[in-house]
Structure 1
Amino acid sequence: MEGTKDTKEGVEVMHHEDIAVNLPHGEDERPWYQQPELRKLYLLMPFLFLGSTTLGYDGSLLNGLQTMPAWQSFFNHPTGSHLGLLGAFPGFGGFAVLLFTPYIADYCGRRLGTGIGCCLVILGSAIQACPQPSNPDAMFLAGRFIMGMGSNISNATCPLLITEVAHPRHRGRVTTIYNTVWYVGAILAAWTTFGTLNHVVGDLSWRLPVGLQCAMPGIQLLALWMLPESPRWLIAKGKYANAKKILTKYHGNGTETDFVNWEFSEISQTIELEESVAASSGWYELVRTPGNRKRCLLIILTAIFSQCSGNGLVSYYLASVLNTIGITNPSNQAAINGGLTIWCWLVSLGCAFLVDRVGRRVLFLIAGVGMLIAFSIWTACSAVYAKTGDSGAGSAVLAMIFLFYGAAGFAWPGLTVSYTVEILPFKIRAKGLTLCFVGTSLAGIFNQYVNPIGLEALAWKFYLVYIVVLVLECLAIYFLYVETRGPTLEEIAVLFDGPDANVAGTTVPMERKRSIEVSDDKA
């Protein structure tokens, strides 16, 4: 983390780890692990990351349950629309609360909002694990609906708290790591179902992994109160002293440095400017200005691409895909599901540390092009297997599934949420993240309901739809996406709103605005 310095007009440009970031004088130049309070903050961050595990656990859980004869028998061997309904119901629950989540985040706070979400997930998981044989769908669907509600509330507040409390130097990497932990939940679900499939007899083999879905939100709920509230939310609520105290403790290691004063000033003045122009706009503020309209377009595209790039086929219906290439043994399917989740997590976690070196837009492009190539080969090999039954073609499909998810790991697991919260000003950050979840929920419901029907009716030919989507995705990323590495969370507004952006501070703001615009042009 040691670096060189250039100084221009009172602004210090630090080159840490080959990352050029403009920050004022007075920042502690030591690596985060040598700063006691910042180290304490980041060691507590994994408890916030647990918020992302819920959806990952659920996605992999349904895959695992489909490999279990006891679950299949209990639910009368669901296929097509019945299976799609079981998969889509968390999306319905999440969609039902989406309009309320920004108000929970803005009025209750990021921390309390996360706690509310955790409680609902725990309740939903318990109900989901206790359906009765006389009417198996009723309680199972009710539990999944409540779990989806809680998961969306938690996922609408956790990333905001992470982004708004992180040091500007580490914001991109820390926030990107959050969504990669989706795969930790997937890994736990995959290997739990694999273990109970082979070692637990009867209905307990599927009830046990379903009930364990409440473990991670339970741990998060207990640890949540050790973490600080967002200083930006505290400032927005007029609690300036508390916000300053948090910034001083964690970003100044207990000392009120020039850097802490600059950061506090920029955040508080920027929020005041945002409130002065958005006070009477409400939801209309999302589309009131050209910059906000561009933000909304990128958020909607990111939400759709994160769910509808072919990844939903494997995320929820891997067993159905494997059946099309002759891998029908339940134990083998469960083992492949578990191995795939570990592979995906390792790739996505590694790429999370590249966001400030390579940039967000480049990672999106690598992911899009790589997924297109892998999925095209996947489709071709599936067609060969369908016509000839060649085992080599089936093995090639399995290899392409792993390569496809390796390419996706460059961007979609981590950047879907982190890019969304980065490009949004504080005043509309919660509403904009809600827009992202509206998009992902609708796309997820489509995926989870339509995919099993498409696979059942068209088999490998259904994949052609996603090839078209991936081509459009690559074009959209290349022509529309904005690079956000470098500026602070407040100053990213300049990239969308130009020199008239509502950004304030004490360190020659106009010069900084011009330098940000120049760096964006170079990117």
Structure 2
Amino acid sequence: MVLSLSKFCCTMSLKNDTKKELDVVHHEHVASHGVPSEDARPWYQQPELRKLYLMMPFLFLGSTTLGYDGSLLNGLQTMPAWKEFFNHPTGSRLGLLGAFPGFGGFAVLLFTPYIAGRLGTAIGCVLVIVGSIIQALPQRSNPDSMFLAGRFIMGMGSNISNATCPLLITEISHPRHRGKATTIYNTLWYLGAILAAWTTFGTLTHITSDLSWRLPIGLQCAMPGIQLLCVYLLPESPRWLISKNKHAAAQKMLTKYHGNGEETDFVKWEYTEISQTLEAEKLASASSGWVELVRTPGNRKRCLLIILTAIFSQCSGNGLVSYYLAAVLETIDITNSSHQALINGGLTIWCWLVSLGCAFLVDRVGRRTLFLSAGIGMLLAFSIWTACSAVYSQTGNSHAGSAVLAMIFLFYGAAGLAWPGLTVSYTVEILPFNIRAKGLTLCFVFTSLSGVFNQYVNPIGIEALGWKFYIVYVVVLVLECLAIYFLYVETKGPTLEEIAFLFDGADANVAGTGVAVGYENSSKVGKGDNI
């Protein structure tokens, strides 16, 4: 035990030394470039920046669309008309109905880096609209075929849109607001969930025919329809424009929105750093293909963190309630359809408020701190949830059942500290431009695979094991907390380009890499701290 403690202390000392050296290099880099002061006014007092951010909700709709579908099946499972139409699906069949959008999303993810930007968003919106219409029109003689086909197509579209929108948000936002804007994007998943939950509650209580479930499904067309009409009002990414040799257009975009129409020293500095960094990345890349994701130690560490983030975002116990709340509530004898729908609606509002509030803490508290706090909070809440479920199962104690419901809300409150918002924003932040689209695709590949597993296995596990199935997620949460503590890198502070120092050390391809002299006497940075 003494040896283990000594080794742990040694490891933490090395990490602290590494962080100090990286901080020194970052400050040297900033000092050597003489970063000019920017407009200190709040964004809402800057006319052009205000205009940019007021258009941003059209991109946020990509996350809202995904959240609507994610919560829709929860609402449908509370509807007697839907359950009767589909012959009361349970177990593996219910899992298949839930998992099918994941199959559709996985089918297109490898192609999304090549249709990024506004075009990719538009294609995604069209597919969601088509899929929603097909999903809303199945026939009683063979209900599964059209429903599954529609969910597959809708999964394709929503994942294309969700793979392109956060990239554009990150790259057009002012550096001062990048973290908040990208984090807010993913929290709006819960806004879609709220709309789905309360729409299904409304139709459940006022309509008894098949229209009660067909109408909420058809309403999925509304958000991608609005997004499709408005997405071209937004500017293109200056990084994308520079990568396509459209330098004048990139300068114009930065001048208009980040300089409020004036080519300030800050705008010139930002344009120079972006263009020189992209050039350095291009020269350093062995190729622009997928191998670049694992070519360097820094990129391998990025990929590991992306994969872990994707898996943890789906497989931390949250999938139990996100997709199968009705089945979980039935384990504590809450079987009334209206009560289930009300709990679903209330839970979505709670989750959104918590996650949205925490989105404004990312630049103050830091990403790693939020991840770790969320992991520990989820572990504690889920452990109590599991214990109370066991007590209720064995004794029928009503207080234990109420405690389970309370722990569900606390669990999602803890999850809201990080996972809704940071899953996408952290992934986008840690990637350099030349692999940003491919790295985000990697995130969504593992998110889809984890989601498919989650959505298919959870109803089977609950049906077969009841509360004992929860123990699996307690173990996962323990591993999650350890991984966050020992592996995750804090990205608060540096610009999108300068985050490369945290992963690549002396080999960072950032404009003005002459500052790398700060590494000459260090053998740890860029080696021992990388994978």
Tell me the TM-score normalised to structure 1 length. Answer: 0.92
The separation in 1 between residues aligned to 2:28 and 2:399, in whole angstroms, is: 64
Q: How much does 1:442 deviate?
A: 0.4
| Contact 2:286-2:292 at 8 Å conserved across structures | no
The AA in structure 1 aligned to 2:43 is: W
Query: Which amino acid is 1:333 matched to?
Result: Q
Bigger mean CA offset, 194-203 vs 272-281: 272-281
**Counterparts of 1:176 and 1:152, CA distance in 2:** 17
Candidates 439, 457, 464, aligned match of 1:450: 457
Corresponding position of 2:241: 234
Distance in 2, matches of 1:86 and 1:347, equals 29
* Match in the other structure for 2:477: 470
Distance 1:484 1:383 in 2: 40
1:309 maps to which residue? 316
Q: Partners in 2 of 1:62 and 1:463 — Cα distance?
A: 21
How far 1:157 sits from its partner (Å)? 0.4
Q: Which of residues 71, 74, 87 in structure 2 aligns to 1:63?
A: 74
State the shift of 1:342 in Å: 0.1
Contact 2:29 2:512 survives alignment (8 Å): no
Unaligned runs of 5+ in 1: 1-7, 14-21
Q: Which moved more, 1:129-138 or 1:449-458?
A: 129-138
Aligned to 2:110: 99
Cα distance in 1 for residues equivalent to 2:191 and 2:61: 9
Take 1:142 and 1:268, find their aligned partners in 2: how far apart are those partners?
Answer: 44
Instruction: Select 2:223's aligned residue among 216, 233, 254.
Output: 216
Q: Does the 8 A contact of 1:265 with 1:505 survive in 2? A: no
Q: Structure 2 vs 1, CA of residues 498 and 306 (structure 1 numbering), >3 Å: closer, same or farther?
A: same
The 5 A counterparts of 1:476-491 are: 476-491=483-498
Deviations 1:237-257 (A, max 9, x none): 111110110000000100001
Asked if the contact 1:12/1:25 (under 8 Å) is kept, the reply is: no
Does the aligned pair in 1 maintain the 2:66–2:162 contact within 8 Å? no
Report what 2:123 is aligned to.
Answer: 116
* Alpha-carbon distance between aligned partners in 1 of 2:44 and 2:255, rounded to the nearest angstrom: 17
Does the CA-based 8 Å contact 1:11-1:25 persist in structure 2? Answer: no
Residue 136 of structure 2, aligned match among 129, 142, 147: 129
Instruction: State the Cα distance separating 1:59 from its structure 2 match.
Output: 1.6
Q: Shift in Å at residue 60 of structure 1?
A: 1.1
What is the alpha-carbon distance in structure 2 between the residues aligned to residue 207 and residue 33 of structure 1?
Answer: 41
User: Equivalent residue for 1:81?
Assistant: 92
User: Could you tell me which amino acid in structure 2 is paired with residue 427 of structure 1?
Assistant: N
Rounded to whole Å, the distance in 1 between the matches of 2:492 and 2:218 is 40
Asked if the contact 1:26/1:257 (under 8 Å) is kept, the reply is: no
**Alignment partner of 1:356: what SS?**
helix
Q: What letter matches 1:181 in structure 2?
A: L
Distance 2:199 2:257 in 1: 37
For residue 429 of structure 1, report the CA deviation from its aligned partner: 0.3
Instruction: Provide closer, same or farther for how the CA distance between residues 505 and 117 of structure 1 changes in structure 2, counting only shifts above 3 A.
Output: farther
Cα shift at 1:280: 2.3
Partners of 2:518 and 2:66 in 1: how far apart?
Answer: 39
Matches within 5 A, 1:186-201: 186-201=193-208
Amino acid aligned to 2:38 = E
Report deviation, 1:12.
Answer: 7.5
Partner of 1:403: 410
1:500 positional shift: 2.0
- The answer to whether the 8 A contact 1:11-1:23 is kept is yes
Alpha carbon RMSD of aligned pairs, Å? 1.9
SS in 1 for 2:490: coil
Using the TM superposition, give the Cα deviation of residue 479 of structure 1 relative to its aligned residue in structure 2, in angstroms: 0.2
Kept in 1, the 8 Å contact 2:36–2:269? The answer is no
Q: Report the Cα distance in structure 1 between the residues aligned to 2:30 and 2:432, rounded to whole angstroms.
A: 23
User: Per the alignment, in what secondary structure is the counterpart of residue 362 of structure 2?
Assistant: coil
Question: Counterparts in 2 of 1:344-383, with a 5 A limit?
Answer: 344-383=351-390
Retained in 1: the 8 A contact 2:184–2:421? yes
Tell me how far apart the structure 1 counterparts of residues 374 and 219 of structure 2 sit (CA, whole Å): 32
Which residue pairs with 2:60 in the alignment?
Answer: 49
Query: Which of the numbers 392, 396, 418 marks the counterpart of 1:385?
Result: 392
Q: Against the structure 1 CA distance between its residues 151 and 345, is the aligned structure 2 distance closer, same or farther, given a 3 Å change threshold?
A: same
Answer yes or no: is the 8 Å Cα contact 2:238–2:254 preserved in 1: yes
> Residue in 1 aligned with 2:258?
251
Identity %: 82
Deviations along 1:391-427, one digit per CA (max 9) or x if unpaired, are: 1110000000000000000000000000000000000
Structure 1 CA distance for aligned equivalents of residues 452 and 491 of structure 2: 30
8 Å Cα contact 1:503/1:509 also seen in 2: no
Tell me which stretches of 4 or more aligned residues in structure 1 moved more than 6 Å.
Answer: 511-514
The one-letter code matched in structure 1 to 2:427 is: T
User: Structure 2 CA distance, aligned partners of 1:130 and 1:500?
Assistant: 55
In 2, Cα distance between equivalents of 1:136 and 1:38: 49
Partner residue of 2:24? none
**How much does 1:375 deviate?**
0.1
TM-fit CA distance, 1:11 = 5.0
Q: Deviation of residue 201 (structure 1)?
A: 2.1
Q: State the Cα distance separating 1:482 from its structure 2 match.
A: 0.1
Distance 2:421 2:366 in 1: 13
The reply to whether residue 501 of structure 1 matches residue 501 of structure 2 is no
Q: Within 1, Cα distance between the matches of 2:166 and 2:287? A: 26
Contact 1:64–1:193 (Cα < 8 Å) also in 2? yes
- Is 1:327 the counterpart of 2:345? The answer is no
1:220 shift after superposition: 1.0
From the superposition, tell whether residues 78 and 314 of structure 1 become closer, same or farther in structure 2 (CA, over 3 Å): same
User: Structure 2: which 5+ residue stretches go unaligned?
Assistant: 1-26
Distance 1:468 1:83 in 2: 25
Please state how far the C-alpha of 1:510 moved relative to its aligned partner: 4.9
Deviation, 1:277, is 2.2
- Deviation, structure 1 residue 223: 1.3
Q: CA deviation at 1:270?
A: 0.8
Structure 2 Cα separation of the partners of residues 235 and 72 of structure 1: 53
- How many residues are treated as equivalent by the alignment? 497
User: Paired residue for 2:298?
Assistant: 291
Matches within 5 A, 1:4-43: 11=30, 24-43=35-54
Counterpart AA for 2:347: L
Equivalent-residue separation in structure 1 for 2:489 and 2:464 (angstroms)? 39
- Contact 1:262–1:505 at 8 Å: present in 2 too? no
Q: Secondary structure at the residue paired with 1:24?
A: coil
Give the C-alpha shift of residue 512 in structure 1: 9.8
- Alpha-carbon separation, structure 2, partners of 1:445 and 1:10: 44
